[in-house]
Structure 1
């Protein structure tokens, strides 16, 4: 029988191992950053911004969105407003639906305990037209001013495996 502190230590160990496996470095990764949502409470007026430096305008790349939700998240999806601003200042805003759970409430993301990590394609097989810093802003687009249960959000840019 394990004590409470042994159980907590074991859970922490597995969380670290899982995170290292899920987010391990690979050759295709160009950029990745994951930000905490303070208190797992995402306000509808609080965008989470990422600055993606782009030096390569020739390689085909993919942009993915990473979401970590807790099991207390009460919806089966998440709507996001994604605004991308190029180095020239031109902006494009997309509304993106991220499926989070199936019809029976089973989370799509990988996880254990009470947290689940999902990675969803946002833009596939694109070439950035300009070199420089691209700003990608994520804003929750649900019908609640404060959305509970979203712990982290992130952006990943990787080289496409299909050229």
Structure 2
């Protein structure tokens, strides 16, 4: 193999390795009409995911129609037979309290905000349910909600 081909092979390996962000699992549930109802349970199946006590994130994709600075989310993790392992209320701050600017990454009027969970999913976690706890029947401006599990 000549030097040019060898260098190209090494470069390809380095570039492909740099493209991964170290996630084990990531999924978003889109919400119809960009409204998250108080009775809408967003369930994430983790049966096939190997969890190894790694950082876990919750994410909200929202737009300019969202009228609050934060979002309270109830996160319920269950094992394979449906026993609740953890039931936690998380306050996800979506806008800077001083400037009012949206937090997270965005394009146009749509933003995605990730935040680390205060607990870790362990090997016995087989499903995660997310519920909105904002005391509103419908939260308008919420496009999707998801979880991300890192290596």
Give the TM-score band, short-chain normalised: 0.7 to 0.9
Question: Which protein is bigger by CA-based radius of gyration?
Answer: 2
Q: State which of 32, 36, 40 in structure 1 corresponds to 2:30.
A: 36
Which position in structure 2 is the counterpart of 1:83? 76
Unaligned runs of 5+ in 1: 1-24
Which position in structure 1 is the counterpart of 2:63? 70
1:153 aligns with 2:148: no
Q: CA deviation at 1:26?
A: 2.1
Runs of 4+ in structure 1 off by over 6 angstroms are: none
Higher-strand-fraction structure: 1
Q: CA deviation at 1:27?
A: 5.4
Q: State which of 108, 111, 116 in structure 2 corresponds to 1:113.
A: 108
1:1-163 equivalent positions in 2, closer than 5 A: 26=20, 28-53=22-47, 56=50, 59-91=52-84, 92-103=86-97, 104-123=99-118, 126=120, 128-130=122-124, 134-159=126-151
Q: Indicate if the aligned counterparts of 1:62 and 1:123 stay in contact, CA closer than 8 A.
A: no
Tell me the C-alpha RMSD between the 2 structures: 2.1
Unaligned runs of 5+ in 2: 1-18
Tell me the TM-score normalized by structure 1. 0.73
Q: Distance in 2 between matches of 1:61 and 1:49?
A: 20
Q: CA deviation at 1:84?
A: 0.6
